[in-house]
Amino acid sequence: MKKLLIASVTVASIGLGGLALAQPAGPGMRHHEPVKEIVKHLRGISLSDAQREEIKTLVSAFKDANPRPEFVDIEKPTLDFATATDAQIRAFIQNQIEERESKHFAFAQLRHDIYNVLNKEQQATLLARDAKRELDKQKHRDSFVKQDQRFAKRMEREGKGPKRKPRDFMFEGIKLSDEQVASLAELRESFKDTSKTNRETLRSFKDALRDLVRSQSFSQDTWDALIAQYKDDIVSAGVEKAKQRQAMFQVLTAEQQAELKTRREDERKLHELFKP
C-alpha cells in the first residue's frame, strides 16, 4: 500500500512538467478544455460570419480527429516510486511525455490555424491581451512572494516558527505534529531555489511554444525541434519534483499514509459519479 500511495501522490503532483504547458488533452471531462480556452480568448474580437464559420469548422475537425476518450480510472503506474532511482523516474516521465506528443501537436496546429484566420488588427488585439495577462500574472506572483516573506518574518518575530498554510501543502486534511510541520517547512525551503529555476525554464518553454504557434515557420519539424531543445530540462524538472514529493511523503507516519490513501480513494469514487 505504501508503494502504491507514494506512486499515486508522486505522479499526481508531477503534472508531466513542461508539456502540460503545451495544453495537453487530458482524460475524461477535461479532454477538450483547451479548446474552450481558445474560444474564451476570442471573446470581444469582432469576428466576421465567415471567420466564425471557418473557426467552427477547424474546431469540429479537431474534435473529430481527437475524440473525447471514455472515462477510465487512472492506471496505477508500474514504477515503484518508493525505491525507484533517478534514472528509472526519468525514463518513466519521458515515456509519459512521449505518449502525449501527438496530441500536443494536434492542439498546437489548431491554435496556429485559428490564429491565421484572424486579420492583422485582430491578431494585434490578441497579442496585447496576452501581454497584459502575463503582466498581471507576474504582478500576482510578485505580490504572492512578498506576502509570503512578510508572513515568515512576522512568525519569526513572534517566535512561532514555521506554520503550515493550506495553499502550499500537499497533504491537506491530514493532522500533523509540530515536528512534521517543521520538517516539511525545511524541505520546502531546501527545494526553493531549484523549483524557481525549473519554473523559469518551463515558463521560457511555454513562451517559445506560443511564439512558434503564431509564427509562419510553424510546422511539425519546427515543433519537434523545439520540443527536443527543451525535453531534457522538462524531464529533469519532473524528476526533481517527484523526488521532492517523495521526500515530503516520507515525513508521514504509516497511519497518516493510510489516511491519505483513504481520502484519495474517496475522491476517486466521487469522480466516478460523473462518468458519462
Distance (Å, whole) CA 102 – CA 108: 10
220-249 and 86-117 helices cross at what angle (nearest 10)?
140
Nearest to 4 by CA among 56, 72, 81: 81
The whole-number pLDDT of residue 58 equals 94
The whole-number pLDDT of residue 74 equals 46
CB contact at 8 A, 35 and 103: no
The whole-number pLDDT of residue 68 equals 73
**Residues of the chain below pLDDT 70:** 1-33, 69-78, 80-83, 144-145, 148-149, 151-169, 275-276
Sign of the dihedral through C-alpha 219, 222, 227, 230: negative
CB contact at 8 A, 8 and 268: no
Residue 15, classified by CB atoms within 10 Å of its CB into exposed (0-12), middle (13-18) or buried (19+), is: middle
Residue 116, classified by CB atoms within 10 Å of its CB into exposed (0-12), middle (13-18) or buried (19+), is: middle
pTM of the model: 0.70
The whole-number pLDDT of residue 210 equals 92
C-alpha cell at 58: 477547424
The whole-number pLDDT of residue 209 equals 94
